[in-house]
Structure 1
């Protein structure tokens, strides 16, 4: 409904934007620089941030720009599996049939890494859900991969509780192997305003559709988390289309924001 009302060519504030249409800011640039260093010289990387802050967008842009002959990336997100289950999933993602026993699974992963044309990168999303045994398995895998050429690298991506887990004494050796750490933070007020303008422009709409005061209110309400900004901005557009108005002002924002208040 609101697409026609505002004559958008595509849906703004979409969670499924193409790489070329992804928002790029200083946070993303800094994250990409660290991930590129991981591929060049690191072994274990950790990226954290609250839900909806843009970790998936960062990964999407990073993996899209990776040259296959330089690095092969394999993405896993079923992080709640038991340790042996996750190793089997990794082996399956690598295109192999899992063998019986952890030692054989380790061997399969390392053998596959040695056959890779370039660096082999394992990306484990939702890593804050990994249990202690699984993290121990990853430490052993990394330790075993020291002599693998081309090298095997692991990237853990998750929410802030991952830091708490890694600070436990039994994971000290794993932590010592972390060569890249990056915490993706929410947008500040200025970034939020530019993010809203960008989303509207990408959809073929008027970048000034939202009053400046509304952009500030959206930031304060959402804490600058892009996914929440998307949801609230979309609610504003829906309210505007229902009321047949062409601009998002403070009154309309308050009505839309009311939908997000818990009873």
Structure 2
């Protein structure tokens, strides 16, 4: 209704996550850097937590829209309360596998075979698990066991865990999840938006549907919306959606504080306000703890590869060297993957032709050559990785020290 009245091309504040409306707030930009770093590693677990409606699903949808499906096969699971055996079958279904009966061993075998086939085709596998706080501990441990699948030294599965704040607490404190914590290579908690980000957020979503300035918003409305919602995107969407509906009903071209107060009163009367109003949290305003020391170290390094930061011109040479190192490292990873795939295919072909004695020596020599090549590439990759991590650490320390900002100023 209001989209027609204001000449909009769609609904700007729908509650369903849509990557087309992705808004890069400060916390989402940081989370995207952690996700980019984690996916570049190609192994382990990446953990993103946040309040209900904080934008976790939209963030992941935005990320997936930028990934080449020819190089990455992704499957998503939105969980209910699942145990260890159930999660295995749900994962199989998410990757499009049909499991006859309810046999866990058969499901695991088919999943591993699928991962091997994807690796030989040059594709990595990514599992996205939403609402991870609903999983039982046995299910989380089963996901960890799936991360053990390898082709030679090449990991076959990487997992992205999305969850509400209580999942973060479970991951940090549960004594049975120590091994899983050690495999978390990047983690981030999505905070609420700052008060100064509410206006750009609302205007961004309006512009996505052809907003041309009608209606206009009083400046005080943005501050009051932040106070009423705590800066949570979905809560903002609910209130602004009602504001626009009221504006269309009353044929208003300007949204003011009086209209906002009327909407808040209506939401209070019908019980909706309790669903959208922020709830105080003891951890509010505090920097979240890290899952484990190893994960903390990795997270500290995670920002540098992808996060957009303002650096002074004097540091452009360092950035150029860093980008060159990243490009070289990606090329080496791709070369290593091809070598591993070639080795696996040669082993299978050699096994099928084992009865031919005149070829066994030749096959053994070829396998030895490929094995040596893989070891050489792994050694080069390891050295390159150490150099890159050192460069990233120095760059992050330089930026966080404040010297970069002072020089830029």
Whether TM-score is above 0.5 comes out as yes
Q: Which deviations, in whole Å up to 9, do the C-alpha atoms of 1:133-162 show, x marking residues without a partner?
A: 111211222234485635311111110111
SS of corresponding position for 1:45: strand
More deviation in 82-91 or 46-55? Answer: 82-91
Which of 97, 115, 118 is the aligned partner of 2:123?
118
Q: Which residue of 1 aligns with 2:208?
A: 202
Q: Distance in 1 between matches of 2:250 and 2:215?
A: 19
Residue 45 of structure 2 contacts residue 186 of structure 2 at CA under 8 Å; is this kept in 1?
Answer: yes
Q: Which residue of 2 aligns with 1:173?
A: 179
Displacement of 1:189 after TM fit? Answer: 0.6
Residue 79 of structure 2 contacts residue 135 of structure 2 at CA under 8 Å; is this kept in 1?
Answer: no
Q: Which residue of 2 aligns with 1:251?
A: 258
Q: Which residue of 1 aligns with 2:15?
A: 15
Q: Distance in 2 between matches of 1:20 and 1:243?
A: 30
In structure 1, runs of 5+ residues without a counterpart are: none
Q: Which residue of 1 aligns with 2:6?
A: 6
Residue 240 of structure 1 pairs with residue 247 of structure 2: yes
* Count of paired positions: 263
Q: Which deviations, in whole Å up to 9, do the C-alpha atoms of 1:59-114 show, x marking residues without a partner?
A: 10111111112211111113423321221111122222226533333332222111
- State the TM-score, normalized to the length of structure 1: 0.92
Q: Distance in 2 between matches of 1:30 and 1:207?
A: 32
Q: Distance in 2 between matches of 1:36 and 1:79?
A: 27
Q: Which residue of 1 aligns with 2:69?
A: 68
Q: Distance in 2 between matches of 1:6 and 1:207?
A: 6
Q: Distance in 2 between matches of 1:238 and 1:92?
A: 41
Which of 216, 229, 246 is the aligned partner of 2:236?
229
Larger Rg: 2
Residue 73 of structure 2 contacts residue 126 of structure 2 at CA under 8 Å; is this kept in 1?
Answer: yes
Q: Which residue of 2 aligns with 1:153?
A: 158
SS of corresponding position for 1:143: coil
More deviation in 74-83 or 45-54? Answer: 74-83
| Residue 207 to residue 43, structure 1, CA distance change in 2 (3 Å) | farther
| Residue 148 to residue 128, structure 1, CA distance change in 2 (3 Å) | farther
Q: Distance in 1 between matches of 2:9 and 2:70?
A: 36
In structure 2, runs of 5+ residues without a counterpart are: 272-409
SS of corresponding position for 1:122: strand
Residue 8 of structure 1 contacts residue 203 of structure 1 at CA under 8 Å; is this kept in 2?
Answer: yes
Displacement of 1:8 after TM fit? Answer: 1.8
Q: Which residue of 1 aligns with 2:104?
A: 102
Q: Distance in 2 between matches of 1:4 and 1:88?
A: 46
Residue 50 of structure 2 contacts residue 164 of structure 2 at CA under 8 Å; is this kept in 1?
Answer: yes
| Residue 11 to residue 129, structure 1, CA distance change in 2 (3 Å) | same
Q: Distance in 1 between matches of 2:258 and 2:215?
A: 17
SS of corresponding position for 2:47: strand
Which of 175, 185, 188 is the aligned partner of 2:194?
188
Which structure exhibits the higher relative contact order, with contacts defined as CA atoms closer than 8 Å and separated by 6 or more residues? 1
Displacement of 1:27 after TM fit? Answer: 2.6
Residue 132 of structure 2 contacts residue 161 of structure 2 at CA under 8 Å; is this kept in 1?
Answer: yes
| Residue 122 to residue 129, structure 1, CA distance change in 2 (3 Å) | same
Q: Which residue of 2 aligns with 1:29?
A: 29
SS of corresponding position for 1:186: coil
* More helix by percentage: 2
